A and B are shown apart, each in its own frame.
Chain A
Amino acid sequence: MTKITYREAVRIGLREALQRDPRVFLMGEDVGKYGGTYACSKGFLDEFGPERIRDTPLSESTFVGAGIGAALGGMRPIVEVMTVNFSLLALDQILNNAATLRHMSGGQFSVSLVVRMATGAGRQVAAQHSHSLEGWYAHIPGITVLTPATVTDARGMLLTALHEPDPVFIFEHAYLYSIEGELEEGPPAVDISRAAVRRTGKDVSLMTFGGSVWKALAAAAQLAHEGIEAEVVDLRVLRPLDTGAILASVQKTHRAVVIDEAWRTGSFAAEIAAQIMEGAFYDLDAPVARVCSEEVPIPYPKHLEDAALPQPEKIVRAVHRLLGRG
């Protein structure tokens, strides 16, 4: 096993994808000459040339729409939207075209498009640059929503996604790019249908995804010192959701805390709680708890940003409450 950064993992995945299939090309803002906003495609312009590494104008709606068209025309585009915050300008193309074309055409057309974007808060870049909207995207039928949290997933999910016939959205938490991890052995393409248990435990299930996986693991480590064994379930795929894995974990631990960096109201965490209620209500020893962001646009100062977001201590407190130790 080798230790690499998440950024490097994304890079490796992208390079492999470009090398394997001549139909694959990368387009987005500053992916070429600038080297990628998060340096994920540095050097690619020289390596693969401007036909396949395409810098686009600041036109999110149009270049995502062009990705849809190129996919319809037989290519395998990887569209990079700089961050989820700017994907809002492309929401019309995503929701009204990418997600619906197959259905509206009675199954005649499939949009084999992969869209990657950075997501999440935690870097003091204030309200317009700190959104966590992958839960919104998971609301949409017709697309797959992936949230790689590990270097193995960051590299491998992209490769699997490129084999999907329908649109796949990959959310890379901006905080993760500089985090190091072990790249697991095995075929590069990874499964994208199942959740993964990142730590096993019997007392409580911590259900989460993306950047919050690491916060949940930190909380689990802290809880272990107190003799509480927390299981950490990395959902990995928000749509289609691996409900079986969620229920199996709850059936074992009888308690669940869902951690989601989005705002609590209407969050993806609410969906998980509902799934547990529907499928494992009688297995529960306590109501499902949620640790989400506070109901406030993300503030700039560190102490307020920290207070607005899920943190390991908040997760630990939620577990204490569930176990009657609060």
Chain B
Amino acid sequence: MAAVIPRRISPAAFGKALAAFRAIVGSQGVLDSDEDRQTYIDPYAMGDGLDHDCSAIVAPATTEEVRALVRVANEFKVPLWPVSRGKNLGYGAASPAERGNVILDLSRMNRVIDVDVKQAHCLIEPGVSFFDLYRHLAEKKIPLWMSTPGNSWGSVIGNALDRGIGYTPYGDHCEQICGMEVVLPDGDLVRTGMGAMAQSAGWQHYKYGYGPAWDQMFFQSNFGVVTKAGLWLQPEPEMTAKVELAFPKFEDAEWAIDLLADLRRRDVIQHNIVFGSPVRAASVVSQRAEWYDGPGAIPDSACEAMIKKLGIGWWNAKVSLFGHAATVKAQVEILRALFEPRIGKPLNFELWEQGDAPDKSARGIPTTVGLQSVNWYGGRGGHLSFAPVMPSDGKLILDYARKIKAYYEQVGQDYYASFTIGRRHVNNVSLILYDRDDPAMVTRVDKLYRHLVTEAASHGFGEYRGHISYMDAVADTFDFNDHALRRLNDKVKACLDPNNIIAPGRNGIGTRPA
């Protein structure tokens, strides 16, 4: 493998930068061999992933080390790509948008600094994973719950910074962040919210502070490196109930989404609801060839077979209720009255009360079982996710789903959709599964993704989160007033980071000319 170095830097200067990095974090904290860089290649890369290869990895253990590294990066103009755990699977994992960046791996900064049991919040470092936080709470028997994403291997902070989501009342992860500590691109250190007071009596109980609240500026951006953040946790409720709803027909999406979205807006359902197609369910428990082994997209007849054999619907939703026992029981009856007559079957709720086994509850327990889905085609699998934001209107969504399904079929990839229903929006997660070592499939997948970006934009729908290979393509669809938002982002970037050393190109900000 040829040595990779950052753009426009001489090998000699890069060597000096690496030596300066080693002086800060020690030799074990800097990796630059081919073997070590290979462990940071996106496991879902389309092909070998070398188009997003890094030049080295630097892993600090403290905020002071991060500050020192950022100063050195400025001195030598070495771009750093910060990741918290780097498990952003489906969006590029730890790999940088621009080939040759140095990955700033924060996973050694993994302390749970404080948990306030009474006020239900904690202060953590970026390397704390969902598993770490769960274990911390369980080992100390702290009755606070967390929300977890479908793949919980990653970092609580990293996921929130990409506006990741989970499926409990605390599932909008960026909304649970309260107070951040950030190393700015010039090495300065700020705390947001009440943390801006040196003698603050606490900065995890109020988000805004005095004057502008800058926190949002550090989500899906490259304006700083987050080194600590506060997180709100859910006080353990008295009771939960969970139920799986199966809607038999494709057309059911219209009424079902309207009804679920209404319940979500009214907070009867307090969490983001996943509403998914048969391949979504089947890909976690089986492989494609068990249903269909032919060319082209999987036919409807195979989906019908899944529906029958797995006892699911064309659309499937998991709904959970949380609260005091009297409230939960009343809400169970509300859901029964609304859904049973239309589905034609009794709903089968699983109830949990304090003291019951954790697995019966609707709390977030970290898991990686969803990763199984990338084995759909066999071989080294991967997936790409395109998830445009839409207004939560059942008819609009059904019409759009029909059109997108037809396009998947035309291209020859299996239609896998889920609609994540929020309070006033729906995210159409169009997942594209592939075998990364099948070049023809990779070409189809790229074509499909690019088509989805343009098609969604032509309806006025924009993506909620970007994959490293398509960050510019997505940013370009936010084009009001000749891309005024990109101009603003780039102005802020030039002001805070004149050397463009933090994550150039992240979300289309500070993209360098080729």
A and B associate: no
Residues of A within 8 A of B (CB): none
